[in-house]
């Protein structure tokens, strides 16, 4: 680091008036919509450095230089007590910047130059804006300065750099409510925080955690507000215009292609999944219209494709898809996923697997082929990959022995409907016979082939009516969702699927067991009743047929889980909430502050998914049953079943009949099956979130009309309904936003989706799906029938028939690698109820901080309750020989694949 010697006054004046001096931002009253804009000052106007140029220049210069040199034993800044002179007060702003953790030589050289430029006051300009109005300008009072020098930092924070900026402010300046910061360097920097010392009441914090663009890219200065929460009507007069200006800058104008440095949040349809310019077979329908409704995504503004003007042109890996600058992965996350595991999987591993396994893509021939992936690892060709760059060069996939053999058992198949990776589709069977709601003219008779007599054979003397009355019959019903797509799927090479229904019986011993599976194909002229029912049977042939039927149900369940419950109901539905929050809620808004931790990284992971996972020809299409029709099924599910109000956990459980209303219970519901780990643990987490949100909302919205009079909040909710979920805008079930109770319910749903709901259906993907026979993601053969030539081969070699129906070695290895990655926690993960160092000064409100601490303590109590439940021998779904404990809703976790942990946000 270069040392900067004290400069003479003459040299300082030369810097201020010479040609090297950069122009600084100022506030102009002429702005769009009557809102003042930040503009550059005219060339003849220079930035006054109040710490240097004032009525007593030499004395101020000496004071500023001495203050730069003062530091404590750790090398951190010591701030001198404020000194008043001639009605002025000396204050200091400390600007904390984070540098790259891994720097190349050129970066280090550039750093040294930046240190020098900042040291002489020519790199970063800063302006304090008071919360009080200047009667002359009718804007907030302001003082300006530049950062000068740098402050040594503790060795433990080697990537943190601090700079100081000195000001002399009038004694009647009032408290600063905003900071304008201008980056005069040629490249961006990451601003962690600005702390202003010298005002009454102690230091004032301006949390940033944002990239500050170079003025070469955007001449506008960045606005950073202090950590005080204000409703719009409570905004101090001095920063009211800046509040509006900042929101306008984030919304953009809906035009042009977005640049990397932009922080513009806007909406678009899903028109970037296909790639017709590369191959017509990769063309995909646009999602987000009357035919294919869908939530909106973040707009990138790329030009249309050449062959389909309705579709956006693609950006292929490794080039990034635009997301607003602050939404991109930070360095630790990049090292874990973008530049590490995720990149290895998507860019390096899968092509290498394909090369290793050859283009013919062979099936598994025996179960030992599958076991080898876990026992020996998967060795990639040495000439294909650099072992230093690819962490999967030897991909050793580890599962417990019990997990490998669990798939053989009926009770494990049923248990996973309650405690697996997709425990959100099982529902109570309340009516019999079972009827389809599809058009019978197209899809045949609505009655299910599952008869009363067939069920009663499995009920040990109990009638169907009695079992329904006692709430003992349950169903996993994918018939209506999938039947319209079955012919399309089965026309794809090496893909075969059914529309399935599975009936379960809850025994008096507290165990769920499958008793019947219906597999349906669309009717044909020769087979108008194309439905078959299978039971577990007692002979060898029935045993293997039953196993094939369960495998088909698992593959259907895996597709619905990934495309509907995981992608649509968490990732895709959350994106419009995030966009609207940035566009309409100021960073000062209390609801913005509440939601902000639950929005981290989601737009980035969604952009990566559109690029490599859910795109035409991507991992999901290649490895899951629906193939190229995957996103069409997701859109159809959005159209037929997605409702915002039903995304609340208690409401969803009641809708599925898995719970009944009970005001005496903590969440107002009582579970029909007590031993339902996802629901019982989920309700604990839901209740904690709900209590935290209610107390927070009541703290800020104490007046009866405070919700309806909050213009930012009302615009936020209107835009979520009318733009973010445009295709559902006219639905009658949207909640109103008139009271603090309405607001609490809405925000609780959003936080639950981003945290507990996503955790429950994401981080078990590898533990449950890593072993192919347990949860095949696709099937390549229909079940052989007695009148088919394949049936004789099945009778002679049922194991071979079963294995040939599973995904191929390439498909299975792709799925295992991706599921391993998607189940991985990053080292910088932020978990529910935990506050990271980055957000330590998120709000200046001790009462709110106490509420948050109470929320965090509640989650710790919940962890203990869940751990105790996992030791309770009466809870068969979570305890017993070979049964893994249900830990997906334990809030804390270490990094890696742990099968537990609730991150604040959807970050993978």
Q: Are strands 222-225 and 124-134 parallel, antiparallel or unpaired?
A: unpaired
Q: 226 vs 131, 174, 843, 880, CA distance in Å?
A: 10, 13, 9, 53
CA distance 628 to 615: 9
Helix axes 630-641, 479-490, angle to 10 degrees: 160
Q: Which two tokens stand for residue 221?
A: 């200065």
CB half-sphere exposure, 722, CA atoms < 13 A = 6
**CA-to-CA separations, 53 to 289, 435, 560, 638, in angstroms, rounded:** 61, 83, 67, 63
| Residue 101 DSSP symbol | S
Kindly report the number of other CB atoms within 10 A of residue 30's CB atom: 9
Question: To which H or E segment does residue 512 belong?
Answer: strand 512-520
Distance between CA atoms of residues 833 and 806, nearest Å: 41
Residue 405's Cβ-side half-sphere holds a number of Cα atoms within 13 Å equal to 4
Backbone angles phi, psi at 168, to 5 degrees: -115, 120
| Continuous H helices in 211-349 | 240-251, 331-333, 341-343
Cβ atoms within 10 Å of 313's Cβ, excluding its own: 17
Nearest CA-CA partner of 344 in 381, 399, 395: 395
Tokens standing for residue 632:
């069409």
Tokens representing residue 133 in the block: 């109005």
Q: What gap in Å lies between CA 74 and CA 427, rounded to an integer?
A: 60
The DSSP string of 803-839 is: HHHSPPHHHHHHHHHHHHHHTEEPTT--BTT---GGG
- How many C-alpha atoms does 538 have within 13 Å on its Cβ side? 1
Query: Residue 523, SS3?
Result: coil
Give, to the nearest 10 degrees, the angle between helix 540-560 and helix 479-490: 100
Contact status, residue 215 vs residue 236, Cβ threshold 8 Å: no
Task: Report whether the peptide linkage leading into residue 318 is cis, meaning its omega lies within 30 degrees of zero.
Answer: yes
Q: Pairing mode, if any, of strands 499-506 and 139-146?
A: unpaired
The angle that helices 9-17 and 57-69 make with each other, rounded to 10 degrees, is: 100
Residues annotated as catalytic (active site), given as ranges: 566, 571, 758, 762, 908
Contact 392, 824 (CB under 8 A): no
What residues pair up with 395 in beta bridges, in sequence order? Answer: 378
Closest CA to 324 of 258, 246, 248, 253: 258
């Amino acid at each position: 680091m270069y040392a900067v010697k004290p400069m003479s006054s003459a040299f300082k004046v030369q810097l201020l008036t010479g040609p090297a001096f950069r122009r600084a931002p100022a506030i102009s009253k002429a702005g769009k919509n009557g809102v003042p804009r930040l503009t550059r000052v005219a060339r003849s106007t220079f930035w006054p450095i109040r710490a240097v140029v004032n009525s007593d220049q030499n004395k101020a210069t000496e004071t500023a230089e001495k203050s730069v040199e003062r530091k404590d034993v750790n090398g951190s800044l010591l701030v001198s007590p404020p000194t008043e002179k001639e009605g002025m007060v000396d204050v200091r702003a400390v600007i904390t910047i984070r540098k790259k953790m891994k720097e190349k030589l050129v970066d280090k050289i550039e750093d040294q130059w930046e240190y020098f430029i900042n040291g002489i006051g020519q790199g970063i300009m800063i302006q304090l804006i008071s919360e009080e109005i200047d009667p002359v300008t009718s804007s907030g009072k302001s003082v300006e300065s530049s950062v000068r020098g740098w402050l040594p930092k503790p060795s433990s924070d080697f990537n943190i750099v601090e700079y100081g900026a000195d000001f002399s402010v009038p004694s009647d300046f009032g408290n600063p409510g905003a900071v304008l910061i201008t980056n005069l360097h040629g490249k961006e920097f990451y601003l962690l925080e600005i702390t202003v010392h010298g005002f009454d009441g102690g230091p004032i914090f301006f949390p940033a955690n944002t990239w500050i663009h170079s003025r070469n890219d955007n001449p506008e200065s960045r606005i950073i507000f202090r950590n005080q929460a204000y409703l719009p009507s409570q905004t101090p007069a001095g920063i009211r215009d800046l509040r509006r200006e900042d929101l306008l800058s984030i919304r953009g104008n809906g035009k042009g292609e977005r640049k990397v440095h932009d922080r513009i949040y806007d909406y678009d349809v899903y028109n970037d999944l296909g790639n017709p310019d590369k191959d017509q077979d990769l063309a995909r329908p646009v999602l987000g219209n009357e035919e294919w409704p869908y939530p909106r995504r973040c707009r990138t503004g790329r030009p249309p494709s050449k062959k389909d003007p309705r579709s956006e042109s693609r950006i292929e890996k490794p080039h990034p898809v635009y997301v607003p600058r602050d939404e991109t992965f930070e360095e630790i996350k990049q090292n874990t996923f973008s530049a590490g595991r995720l990149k290895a999987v998507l860019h390096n591993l899968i092509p290498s697997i394909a090369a290793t396994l050859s283009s013919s893509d062979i099936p598994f021939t025996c179960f030992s082929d599958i076991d080898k992936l876990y026992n020996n690892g998967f060795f990639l060709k040495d000439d294909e990959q650099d072992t230093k760059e690819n962490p999967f060069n030897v991909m050793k996939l580890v599962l417990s022995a019990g997990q490998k053999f669990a798939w053989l058992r009926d009770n494990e198949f049923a248990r996973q409907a309650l405690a697996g990776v997709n425990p959100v589709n099982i529902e109570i069977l309340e009516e019999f016979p079972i009827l389809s709601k599809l058009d019978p003219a197209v899809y045949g008779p609505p009655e299910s082939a599952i008869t009363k007599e067939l069920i009663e054979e499995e009920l040990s003397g109990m009638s169907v009516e009695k079992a329904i009355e006692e709430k003992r019959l349950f169903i996993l019903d994918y018939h209506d969702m999938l039947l319209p797509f079955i012919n399309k799927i089965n026309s794809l090479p090496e893909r075969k699927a059914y529309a399935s229904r599975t009936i379960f019986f809850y025994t008096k011993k507290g165990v769920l067991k499958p008793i019947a599976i219906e597999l349906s194909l669309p009717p044909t002229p020769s087979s108008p009743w194309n439905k078959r029912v299978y039971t577990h049977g007692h002979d060898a042939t029935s045993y293997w047929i039953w196993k094939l039927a369960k495998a088909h149900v698992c593959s259907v369940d895996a597709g619905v889980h990934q495309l509907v419950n995981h992608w649509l109901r968490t990732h895709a539905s959350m994106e419009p909430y995030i966009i609207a929050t940035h566009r309409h809620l100021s960073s000062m808004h209390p609801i913005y502050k509440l939601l902000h931790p639950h929005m981290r990284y989601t737009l980035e992971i969604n952009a990566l998914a559109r690029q490599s996972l859910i795109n035409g020809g991507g991992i999901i299409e290649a490895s899951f049953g629906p193939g190229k029709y995957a996103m069409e099924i997701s859109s159809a599910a959005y159209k037929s079943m997605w409702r915002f109000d039903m995304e609340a956990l208690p409401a969803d459980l009641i809708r599925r009949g898995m719970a009944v209303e009970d005001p005496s219970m903590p969440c107002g519901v009582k579970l029909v099956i007590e031993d339902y780990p996802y629901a019982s643990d989920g309700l604990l987490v839901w209740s904690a979130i709900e209590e935290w949100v209610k107390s927070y909302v009541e703290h800020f919205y104490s007046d009866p009309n405070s919700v309806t009079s909050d213009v930012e909040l009302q615009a936020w909710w209107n835009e979520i309904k009318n733009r973010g979920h445009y295709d559902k805008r006219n639905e009658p079930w949207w909640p109103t936003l008139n009271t603090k109770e309405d607001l609490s319910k809405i925000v609780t749903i959003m936080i639950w989706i981003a945290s507990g709901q996503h955790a429950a259906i994401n981080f078990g993907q590898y533990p449950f799906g890593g072993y192919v026979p347990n949860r095949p993601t696709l099937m390549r053969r229909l079940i052989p029938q007695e009148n088919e030539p394949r049936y004789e081969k099945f009778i002679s070699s049922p194991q071979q028939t079963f294995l040939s129906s599973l995904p191929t070695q390439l498909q299975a290895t792709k799925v295992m690698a991706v599921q391993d990655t998607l189940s991985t926690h990053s080292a910088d993960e932020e978990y529910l109820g935990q506050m990271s160092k980055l957000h330590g000064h998120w709000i200046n409100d001790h009462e709110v901080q106490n509420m948050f601490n109470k929320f965090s303590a509640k989650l710790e109590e919940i962890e203990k309750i869940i751990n105790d439940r996992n030791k309770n021998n009466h809870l068969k779904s979570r305890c017993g020989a070979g049964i893994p404990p249900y830990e997906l809703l334990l809030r804390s976790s270490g990094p890696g694949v742990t099968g537990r942990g609730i991150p604040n946000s959807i970050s993978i």
